[in-house]
Structure 1
Amino acid sequence: MDDQLYQADPHIVATWAKGWAIAREVSPPVPDGGAFRIEVGLPDHVRRYIFSAATTAVRQIADTISDPYIFLKVCAPPDVVSRLLPPGWVIQPQAYMMTCFGAMAPVNTALQEGYVLDISEDIPVPIVRILTTQGEVAAIGRIAFVGDYAIYDRIETHESHRRRKLGSVIMKTLEAVGAARGINKGLLVATREGRALYETLGWRLHSLYTTAEIPGPVLPG
């Protein structure tokens, strides 16, 4: 059995959950029935449960949920997670929990003409932005710290500014923020597209990260 497919290190998952909650400024995770429960409190994201493996605990918690906007996050393949779910649950696009223990690969962080780097470092969750000279946010990322780990979160490049290596600049700048605090172990969860970028920077797959939900109506805004 490939551990990267079917389970994750519980310590890594616990650290990720704590860092995610810090980065999103929500309540810290609480152990609950074999998962880490986070009360997010948004209309379209009420709560999430994070599991380090696909066990019967997934089914036990899923059986207690009938409302939408509550998410199950499981470190396992989607087909394995699906078999544990009652009817009505839907699997979202695949994501990937990744790690980088040590320095990322070197890249050219010089920005193309028309962009400027903006770093907000002296705040609980440092933010790095790349702005256009007109003040538009072209790319952004955040970093939270849990012990000796840095949790990278919400790394985004606006669609009209992609393929200009802005994501690499965001990641390397966030890395420098962590290194200034003596932290060089990184965690993140990537989309399929994001995984390709992070692997070029030296990140490695830790586990698959499958999300399930009961679909609800699209809320305004």
Structure 2
Amino acid sequence: MEKEISNEILEKWLKGWSLSRNLALPIQYKSGFKVDVNDEKQKSRYVFSDINSDFLQLSETIFEPWVFLKVCNSFERFKNLIPEKWQVQPQGYMMSCFHPMSLPNVSLHEDYRLEYENYNSTFVIKIVTKKGELSSIGRVVLVDDLAIYDRISTEINHQRKGLATFVMKELEKIALSKGIFNNFLVATEEGKSLYELLGWDIYSLYTSIVIPS
């Protein structure tokens, strides 16, 4: 069952998202938050916990392309309240796992090895081949009592081998070693099924709209 997300959790997740990407931390914008991304296809993002007058006002006043508006609700709830200039993006899912993950007993094949890295409260786990080719990667950022998982991916020619699951297992070990049991992430449609298998639940829908160039 979906829950109403608090601004406290939203800010912690957004802080973790920003730290993972070496961006400036989110700043309060009225009832939501703003992050300057400074990317060609995402200049900035405004994030709100729910559809409200601040969110709707921004949808009227922004005309610049590649400025994203994001809200923890479904597009159906507000599509008739915003100008037609906006284009909805693929559905995202805020997901939580406030207990140990349901991880299968996976081990790493001898063809692979682990590499570790950390920066900005962000811990990185990489699985690479013996030749040094990156096969799978993921990050966890620790923000207060929340472990925020980010950018979990596996290269196409290394998929279906349980590598992403192994990355999640190693990232969870890091969070647990710091006494953090509350896990949070935003998943794509594709990633959602993996996380559900590992015991995660959908916390809230996460919808993005943008004006393309």
SS in 2 for 1:82: coil
- Identify which of 184, 188, 198 aligns with 1:187: 184
CA RMSD of aligned residues (A): 1.6
TM (norm. structure 2) is 0.94
What's 1:208 paired with?
205
Q: Structure 2: where are the runs of 5+ without partners?
A: none
Residues 1:77 and 2:74 aligned together: yes
Change (3 A) 1:167 1:89: same
- Match of residue 90, structure 2, among 84, 89, 93: 93
1:11 is aligned, of 8, 11, 29, to 8
Q: Count residues in correspondence.
A: 213
- Identity among equivalent pairs (%): 38
How many angstroms apart in 2 are the aligned matches of 1:43 and 1:136? 28
Whole-Å separation in 2 of the counterparts to 1:205 and 1:84: 25
Contact 2:136 2:164 in 1 (8 A): yes
Cα distance in 2 for partners of 1:209, 1:170 equals 24
**TM-score, with length taken from structure 1:** 0.91
Deviation string for 1:5-45 (max 9, x for gaps)?
Answer: xx423222121111111111111111113211111122221
Stretch deviating more after TM superposition (199-208 or 107-116) = 107-116
Q: Structure 1 residues 169, 185: closer, same or farther in 2, change over 3 A? A: same
Report 1:1-221 matches (<5 A): 3-4=2-3, 7-121=4-118, 124-216=121-213
Residues 126 and 167 in structure 2, CA contact (< 8 A), matched pair in contact too? yes
CA 1:155–1:35: 2 relative to 1, 3 Å: same
Unaligned stretches of 5+ residues in structure 1: 217-221
Distance in 2 separating the partners of 1:151 and 1:114: 29
